[in-house]
Structure 1
């Protein structure tokens, strides 16, 4: 397994993949049970909603400056600083949280991690040849999904020792593991070639100027019609994941699926992702990244369409649809991010990636409320919307050019020019 994961990968990608389990082992579990933990401590549904909304709003604000921070500090340092602030610190706070205010403070610190969405992706893949980037994204996603196998174990421990006591230990252990991960990774990786160039270019530029520069770059690039499908693809697929917050409730309440059966879905998802990584990705090397993304999106849409047809107690059809969804989403996100990194040129990549994620984060802010509204109106309606989002994403993918080329025809913008116009 190790040789398959690491074969031909440059040092940054190799170390990022190797150390990712130190985040996933506890991070995946606590994210899955976060709402239950807050509820068990004594927070009301309204308080939990306020905390989640505050986290989304703060994450959006941090995402706006992510590109400027990543270019100014470098991919390596940005990942260290904001992973420590956005994950290690809030994990420690969550471990001792007893009231609304501690949970809120932890959520606001955690929002800083949105900056790492830009810096870490670039740190892990920027020095990797394009044909190897899908393996990097896929390996990292596979590790996170594989850690989902631990959620039933955590559930069993909570049944024996209680929800709060069990999760406090997991949060505490996670804080230590993540601290070790971030410091260790920082010592092993090096700044990317594009990152060094960006640091020289932005090193003497103020933060306000850098943010203004990034917004100007995004505005220029978004005016290019050939970029619209890429933006639409990213937003549609990201929102499809964000609004899928009531699936477990739907399975239990509307389809009558037992808790034991539901607990096997994360395990099935992890198994499918592993099969895709070991068997499909090697066969797809050298093929068009865009064409593969098109197929993956069609598979995702087909899986959700089949999910809509699952009858009450229809376990077989549920598992079949879950298999298609797991394979489709795993491949979609792996190749979608590869297209984005490969399309944006070295000089503007951090700014553009950050701006794209900022737009997506802004649109995702009301997603929890919208999902609840759709589900309350008609439970199946929520999943119809998810199916439509993947269908729209597939349409956008068909509008992309088969061969991705760096979008380097954006006019160079000096910080001084941007400042004078801002």
Structure 2
């Protein structure tokens, strides 16, 4: 008797068209990103960048992303999902990788942040390319596979740490960034060859032909009040903003806390992203497929609680205690596993597909407007005490949890 195939496995095998191309090429982005990302802030410190400057660079990048986010919907509609993705993937990832590889001081990192801020355009265009032609009942599974690709890639972090200890931080990180340029650029070229424009993308190309970009931007700005009046979209903005703040703080200051505050070596730091990836992978394969795929709020609440609990453990970790930080990482990973696919699926569910590019652009802009100051604030806090950025992150998670419980649109739908 044939064993029933897991819905998650089936979604990957049976995927066709753009979703298949986007999922299958994701490791070419994820592997290099996870080689350098855990050590990026330590690399900056080694090149003489202060902790407050690290935070300010993050804030400058997020502030510029507000502008590119406003432009992302109109540009995606004017150029098409496929063309916009190829152009701005290259600008926002390939070029910064080369700048990081040659970086000498803080000026280089500001230049890279300017280029990298274009990622908001490709986030909108790539999301549309990825899911616009996908079956609605497969969207959570498809997003799960995107995150799985990143997590499998994250298992290389211990190797990165060992290489840094063997060959020293700065030359090894430069090599990682060169590899990033080659691998990510290969992904962008392959995706551009294999993908086709979506049906909605073709429709928007026809509708916006001959319409000036400034007109589309003005139409987008006029749409903002209507978007915010939609209960589900407003909640999506809040949750995404809180999550963006948390990710910015953790991404910028986790390695700083471990090295400068808790006394870990680069080799030891590399194991924690691998632990996190392994836990999230287990959840993706054995827990997420058993959860409700079209109701999201309950899972998001559990995810935030677990993330907050992991953050508390990290704040109170004793100096040099690998076991305590490993426990904090494990608990936080459970939260990340629940949040990652369900945030994306929730946002997809509350957006009118006819206006997806426009609304994604608005949502992205509003999220950045809220999140952009927090990188700089966290940098100032880190200079006072290495754990203080995570106290700030805990407060942000608490706000997100409270609003989800108070303004749950799914509870109202059930009541009707």
1:325-340 aligned within 5 A: 325-340=332-347
Residue 402, structure 1, aligned to residue 410, structure 2: yes
Q: 2:303 and 2:230 mapped to 1: Cα distance? A: 26
Residue 177, structure 1, aligned to residue 183, structure 2: yes
Shift of 1:38: 4.2
Shift of 1:47: 6.5
Check the 8 A contact 2:22/2:130 in 1, yes or no. Answer: yes
Q: Deviations over 1:243-299 (max 9, x none)?
A: 233333334555556665433211111101110111112212546233322332233
Check the 8 A contact 2:280/2:336 in 1, yes or no. Answer: no
Name the residue aligned to 2:279: 272
Q: Provide closer, same or farther for how the CA distance between residues 206 and 404 of structure 1 changes in structure 2, counting only shifts above 3 A.
A: farther
Residue 117, structure 1, aligned to residue 155, structure 2: no
Shift of 1:174: 2.0
Q: 1:208 and 1:377 mapped to 2: Cα distance? A: 44
Check the 8 A contact 2:233/2:350 in 1, yes or no. Answer: no
TM-score, normalised to structure 2, is: 0.86
Name the residue aligned to 2:309: 302
Q: Secondary structure at the match of 1:402?
A: helix
Q: Deviations over 1:335-378 (max 9, x none)?
A: 01111111111121111111111122233322122113334455
Shift of 1:113: 1.7
Name the residue aligned to 2:173: 167
Name the residue aligned to 1:106: 112
1:115-154 aligned within 5 A: 115-154=121-160
Name the residue aligned to 2:82: 76
Q: Provide closer, same or farther for how the CA distance between residues 155 and 314 of structure 1 changes in structure 2, counting only shifts above 3 A.
A: closer
Q: Number of residue pairs matched?
A: 405
Name the residue aligned to 2:256: 249
Corresponding residue to 1:388 among 380, 395, 401:
395
Q: Deviations over 1:104-152 (max 9, x none)?
A: 4333222212211111122212222233222222222232233232233
Name the residue aligned to 1:214: 220
Name the residue aligned to 1:24: 30
Q: Deviations over 1:209-257 (max 9, x none)?
A: 1111111112212134454322222212221222233333334555556
Shift of 1:29: 2.2
TM-score, normalised to structure 1, is: 0.85
Name the residue aligned to 1:413: none
Check the 8 A contact 2:263/2:319 in 1, yes or no. Answer: yes
Check the 8 A contact 1:62/1:115 in 2, yes or no. Answer: yes
Which fold has the larger relative contact order, with Cα–Cα distance below 8 Å and residues 6 or more apart in sequence? 2
Q: Provide closer, same or farther for how the CA distance between residues 42 and 286 of structure 1 changes in structure 2, counting only shifts above 3 A.
A: closer
Check the 8 A contact 1:239/1:364 in 2, yes or no. Answer: yes
Check the 8 A contact 1:59/1:112 in 2, yes or no. Answer: yes
Q: Provide closer, same or farther for how the CA distance between residues 62 and 37 of structure 1 changes in structure 2, counting only shifts above 3 A.
A: same
Q: Secondary structure at the match of 1:128?
A: coil
Worse overlay, 194-203 or 70-79: 194-203
Q: Secondary structure at the match of 1:348?
A: helix
Check the 8 A contact 2:38/2:270 in 1, yes or no. Answer: no
Q: Secondary structure at the match of 1:246?
A: helix
Q: Deviations over 1:373-422 (max 9, x none)?
A: 334455544333322322322233332222899xxxxxxxxxxxxxxxxx
Computed over aligned residues only, the root mean square deviation of the Cα atoms, in angstroms, reads 2.9
Q: 1:55 and 1:230 mapped to 2: Cα distance? A: 22
Q: Secondary structure at the match of 1:114?
A: helix
Worse overlay, 258-267 or 328-337: 258-267
Worse overlay, 202-211 or 142-151: 142-151
User: Which runs of 5 or more structure 1 residues have no equivalent in the other structure?
Assistant: 406-422
Shift of 1:332: 0.7
Q: 1:397 and 1:44 mapped to 2: Cα distance? A: 36
Q: Provide closer, same or farther for how the CA distance between residues 251 and 70 of structure 1 changes in structure 2, counting only shifts above 3 A.
A: same
Name the residue aligned to 1:237: 243
Name the residue aligned to 2:3: none
Residue 359, structure 1, aligned to residue 366, structure 2: yes
